[in-house]
Amino acid sequence: MTTKTIPAPPKTAAGAVYDWLDERLGLSELAAFARHKKVPVHSQSFWYYWGGISLFLFIVQCFTGVLLLVYYRPGVEAYESVRQITFVMHFGWLIRSAHAWSANLMIFAILVHMFSVYFMKAYRKPRELGWLSGMALLGLASVFGFSGYLLPMDELSYFATKVGLQIPMAIPVIGPIVASMLRGGPEVSEFTVQRFFALHVVVLPALFLPLLGFHLWLVQRYGNALPPSEEAKPKWVRKSIPFMPNFLRKDLAMWLISLNVLALLASVFPWALGRQADSLVPAPAGIHPEWYFMSPFEMLKLLGNVLPGESGEIAGILLFSLGIGLWVLIPFYDIKKESGQRGRAAHYFGLLAIFALLATTVIGYWTIR
Amino acid sequence: MNYPFWNIPYLGSGWVIGLIAIFHVMISQFAVGGGFYLPLAERKALHMTDPKMRFVWFEQLVKHSKFFLILTGVFGTVSGVGIWFAIGLTHPEATSTLIHNFVFGWAIEWVFFMVELSTAAVYYYTWNRIDEKLHLVVGWVYAGASICTLIIINGILTFMLTPGDTWLAVAGTGNEASKFWFAFFNPTYWPSLFLRICVCTSLAGIWALITASRIDGDKHTALKTSLVKWSVKWLVPSFVAIPFLMIWYLWMVPESQRALLSLGIDTIGAGTFSIITRIALIIIVTSATIVGVAYFLAYRSPRDFNLSHAVAVLLLALIATGSGEYAREMLRKPYVIGRWMYSNGVRVNNVANLNEHGYLTKSEWVWHGSGAGELEAASSYSRGEAIFRGECGSCHTLQGYRALNNLLAGRDRANIGNFITMLHENQMYSPYRRFMPPMVGTRQDVEDLSNFLNAQVNPPALRAQKTVLTAQK
């Protein structure tokens, strides 16, 4: 008896390349993992997208940042190079505008992500490290924003940086040293730009990228957390969808929507460039830090009114540091889902934090009008 | 200048038309595209062999035609009339020119419009009440009438951008209507018509996705899958053809106006029309996103396609359509009717006359006071304000949209005077010539406008003046 073997269908070029890579990288295992991974579906699923949106906006910043790097010249030529990017280079204004808007949108998205994680209690065991790394990423993102803001060296960024550096100055003992190190001298100058540039494009990415990788790995390892209301339901009632391709498709759609929001803002409200900074002219009226620094700035101001002088500044820094410390350490206080009292206290603390942030920001903008 | 000026502070009168028009276009173009969607969907359902599927398709089409009737019959018609009110108030001179040329065209459009409205109502109310084939005929009559309204209005809209040399040769002679067909089938007529038809079919699909997305995908999987997939296919013709049609359209636009598109490539300079380039970018991004979302979220997973996805697509379409209409309006600058009437209603052939006799010579809406000292200053301020409203108010506000207070900030009286003089002289080398009309009037008019603007930009001067703009005749 003879047996006939059915010839295998000829492989396409793409198939052959995939096989080659699969053999070496184990792509099939990754694909199988993604297919089996599930994402919960419930009334609060919308909040799951904000981490992805933050990541997308960070990628946009990397891309536009590298393009800006081609023409940006730190130091004494900083302003002139940004002027050329904005008013001479083809679509230079668009790259710069997209970079600045995506930075602001990213910080907004991270804040939304942070509060959604907080109120879903997604910091509880085993996700404590995810919460801590996320907070560190937010801190680094703020420093990214602060250091990038000065780089154009126009009037607004110059004076806003001067104002912003008052915050570390208020830290007892080490404050003036830290501020002086950041400035590269007694005043904000081209040396400050050079230092901020190094911080912005070398030091911060070197810290941010591995931390981001760690954060994403933790997200993959433990998956999306269920909010308490969903956790209370029996397992068989809960719904979920496969990560691949259903959730990924939706996630990518959110990225596309974010891209549209970014394109709309960058095009209709292109990031302006003011006059060149001049340390000899008085600061124009209404100088204020970026919106995400308005809250600590205003808190310092308000406490300064109550306790004039250095004591007010120190009290402000201490109060703010205490608030942040409690916020960061919340996974070690609100540990178990069974402990209703601590869970409720954490919930109210979150509401108080939102109220304090919003109120001080609104007061800050109201008083500079 | 026999008309009173319609002053809308902060927003500007142009945006009143703009907002109504963008809203109207979203619905009226759906009315045209949807006019074909409904009978074609009905025909498809009639040919279905599975009676259950056929039944649910009909059930869904009844719901969709109700939505269609309400949206187009109420919001479409009301906003259409709103445009008439708004253009009559904002651009009386341009509206007058259009009426003098196209009155019969418009009359015919209104006939089709009445047929459209009537058949839309008959179509909805006769589901399952008349013979299936007759019902389908009603649908086709609606489709025919609705596309005829587009065929006509497109001639008038494109005329404003490119009236054509033949009509321009007789413009101002009183015989303009004799060249009706030349004005109607003007250079941009055909590319614009095909472009709009493509947009209409897309909007038919997008609006249909709104109703289809509300079907429960778990209970009616087959119905939802087939309807969503079929609706997405309505987007295909436009996304294949629009890039080529756009190139054709721009090719027919005069070079000087086409150049406005490239102004914003390398600058964001305030006071220029660099916004057109930026708006063009938005159109590209939103259109590409609609394709992506429609394919990945609707076509690839129709069962999970929900109302929020459909609304996102609709909003993107709204942004793309609104941006397209805005860019089209901007491309006309510095004219409201190409090479014939400037965007502030001043006829090109009337500039010399107004420069000699004054912009306000025939205006009954300004106080021409006489006297010396404070009285003279007050009179100048009054005339300056009237000139601002007449010559600048179509595109600028004092505080708000394209605010002159911002654009002229930092200039003193002499500088403002020099700037107005530059606009008045309108030399070939003037950078503003490409997108702004010349400032027309006598030397005194230039002074009056400069005085008025200086009083706004440099407020201390304001205290020395009095606001006395009232119709005192």
Q: Which residues of chain A have pLDDT under 50?
A: 1
Cross-chain residue pair A260–B286, CB shorter than 8 Å: yes
Write out the DSSP string of B446-466.
HHHHHHHHHHHHSHHHHHHS-
**C-alpha pair distances (Å), A29 with each of A11, A25, A26, B428:** 21, 9, 6, 69
How far does Cα A294 stand from its chain's mean position?
16
- Contact residues of A toward B, CB < 8 A: 86-94, 97, 241, 246, 249-250, 252-253, 256-257, 259-260, 263-264, 267-268, 270, 272
Cross-chain residue pair B285–A259, CB shorter than 8 Å: yes
What one-letter code names the amino acid at A240?
S
**C-alpha pair distances (Å), A24 with each of A27, A29, A30, A31, A38:** 8, 11, 12, 14, 27
For residue B472, count other CB atoms closer than 10 A to its CB: 12
How many angstroms separate the CA of residue B285 from the nearest CA in chain A?
7
**C-alpha pair distances (Å), B243 with each of A175, B118, B233, B434:** 58, 36, 18, 26
In a domain, B354, yes or no: yes
Burial of B190 (0-12, 13-18, 19+ CB in 10 A): middle
In a domain, B472, yes or no: no
Backbone angles phi, psi at A93, to 5 degrees: -60, -35
Cross-chain residue pair A90–B265, CB shorter than 8 Å: yes
Q: Are residues B324 and B362 in the same domain?
A: no
**Minimum CA–CA partner of B278 in chain A:** A267
Instruction: Tell me what pLDDT residue B282 has.
Output: 92
The tens digit of pLDDT for each residue in B385-395 reads: 999 999 999 89
What one-letter code names the amino acid at B261?
L
- The helix/strand/coil state of B342 is strand
Contacts of A241 in chain B (CB under 8 A): 304
Q: Which helix (H) or strand (E) holds A163?
A: helix A155-164
**Minimum CA–CA partner of B262 in chain A:** A90
Q: Are residues B337 and B386 in the same domain?
A: no
Cβ proximity of B112 and B86 under 8 Å: no
- The helix/strand/coil state of A241 is strand
Q: Return the CA Rg of chain B.
A: 26
Instruction: Tell me what pLDDT residue A339 has.
Output: 64
Write out the DSSP string of B351-415.
HHHHHHH-TTTT-SSS-----STHHHHHHHHHHHHHHIIIIITTT-BSSSTTBHHHHTTT--HHH
In a domain, B170, yes or no: yes
In a domain, B8, yes or no: no
Backbone angles phi, psi at A353, to 5 degrees: -65, -45
The tens digit of pLDDT for each residue in B128-158 reads: 999 999 999 999 999 999 999 999 999 999 9
Instruction: Tell me what pLDDT residue B468 has.
Output: 44
For residue A261, count other CB atoms closer than 10 A to its CB: 15
Residue B198 has pLDDT above 50, yes or no: yes
Total number of domains constituting chain B? 2
Q: Which domain holds residue B71?
A: 13-342
Residue B315 has pLDDT above 60, yes or no: yes
Task: Give the pair of three-digit tokens for residue A27.
Answer: 């792509």
Cross-chain residue pair B282–A264, CB shorter than 8 Å: yes
Cross-chain residue pair A268–B268, CB shorter than 8 Å: no
How many angstroms separate the CA of residue B279 from the nearest CA in chain A?
7
**C-alpha pair distances (Å), A343 with each of A134, A183, B109, B282, B339:** 20, 43, 67, 45, 71
Mean pLDDT of B210-232: 94
B95 vs A: CB within 8 A: no
The tens digit of pLDDT for each residue in B174-194 reads: 888 899 999 999 999 999 999
What is d(CA B449, CA B384) in angstroms, rounded to the nearest whole number?
A: 4
What one-letter code names the amino acid at B6?
W
Write out the DSSP string of A304-368.
HHHSTTHHHHHHHHHHHHHHHHHHHTGGGTS--SS-HHHHHHHHHHHHHHHHHHHHHHHHHHHHH
Q: Are residues B203 and B327 in the same domain?
A: yes
Mean pLDDT of B291-306: 89
- Closest CB from A89, A94, A253 relative to B293: A253
- Closest CB from B269, B275, B289 relative to A260: B289
Q: Are residues B284 and B402 in the same domain?
A: no
Cβ proximity of B171 and B190 under 8 Å: no
How far does Cα B320 stand from its chain's mean position?
13
The distance between the two most distant Cα atoms of chain A, rounded to a whole number of Å, is 103
Q: Are residues B298 and B364 in the same domain?
A: no
Backbone angles phi, psi at A241, to 5 degrees: -125, 155
Cross-chain residue pair A257–B292, CB shorter than 8 Å: no
What is d(CA A306, CA A301) in angstroms, rounded to the nearest whole number?
A: 9
Mean pLDDT of B414-427: 95
Residue B472 has pLDDT above 60, yes or no: no
Domain-terminating residue out of B342, B362, B396: B342
* Mean pLDDT value across chain B: 89
Handedness of CA B127, B132, B135, B141 (dihedral sign): positive
Cβ proximity of B208 and B201 under 8 Å: no
The torsion of the CA quartet B427, B428, B430, B433, rounded to 10 degrees, works out to 100
CB pairs under 8 A between A and B: 63
- The helix/strand/coil state of A240 is strand
Q: How many helices (H) and strands (E) does chain B have?
A: 19, 2
In a domain, B469, yes or no: no
Q: Are residues B177 and B79 in the same domain?
A: yes
Residues 6+ apart with CB under 8 A from B22: B318, B321, B322, B325, B326
In a domain, B471, yes or no: no
Q: Are residues B367 and B315 in the same domain?
A: no
Instruction: Tell me what pLDDT residue A73 has.
Output: 95
Instruction: Tell me the pLDDT band of B469, cut-offs 50, 70 and 90.
Output: very low
B312 vs A: CB within 8 A: yes
Cβ proximity of B225 and B301 under 8 Å: no
What is d(CA A12, CA A18) in angstroms, rounded to the nearest whole number?
A: 10
Backbone angles phi, psi at B331, to 5 degrees: -60, -25
Cross-chain residue pair B296–A252, CB shorter than 8 Å: yes
Mean pLDDT of B330-347: 92
For residue B466, count other CB atoms closer than 10 A to its CB: 13
Beta bridge partners of B335: B342
Nearest Cα neighbor of A81 from A30, A151, A17 is A151
Beta bridge partners of A242: A38
Handedness of CA A288, A290, A291, A294 (dihedral sign): negative
Q: Are residues B290 and B368 in the same domain?
A: no
Sorted by where each begins, the domain ranges of chain A are 36-276, 288-369
Cβ proximity of B371 and B117 under 8 Å: no
B422 vs A: CB within 8 A: no
For residue A342, count other CB atoms closer than 10 A to its CB: 14
Cross-chain residue pair A268–B282, CB shorter than 8 Å: yes
Domain-terminating residue out of B318, B342, B366: B342
Q: Are residues B163 and B248 in the same domain?
A: yes
Instruction: Tell me what pLDDT residue B471 has.
Output: 40
Residue B161 has pLDDT above 90, yes or no: yes
**CATH level 3 topology of A36-276:** Cytochrome Bc1 Complex; Chain C (1.20.810)
Cross-chain residue pair A249–B301, CB shorter than 8 Å: yes
Cβ proximity of A193 and A201 under 8 Å: no
In a domain, B115, yes or no: yes
Q: Which one of B285, B297, B301 makes the best mutation probe of the A interface by having the most chain A beta carbons within 10 Å?
A: B285
Q: Are residues B333 and B359 in the same domain?
A: no
Domain-terminating residue out of B316, B342, B368: B342
Q: Which one of A83, A255, A256, A261 makes the best mutation probe of the B interface by having the most chain B beta carbons within 10 Å?
A: A256
Q: Which one of B262, B265, B268 makes the best mutation probe of the A interface by having the most chain A beta carbons within 10 Å?
A: B268
Q: Are residues B308 and B457 in the same domain?
A: no
Q: Are residues B267 and B360 in the same domain?
A: no
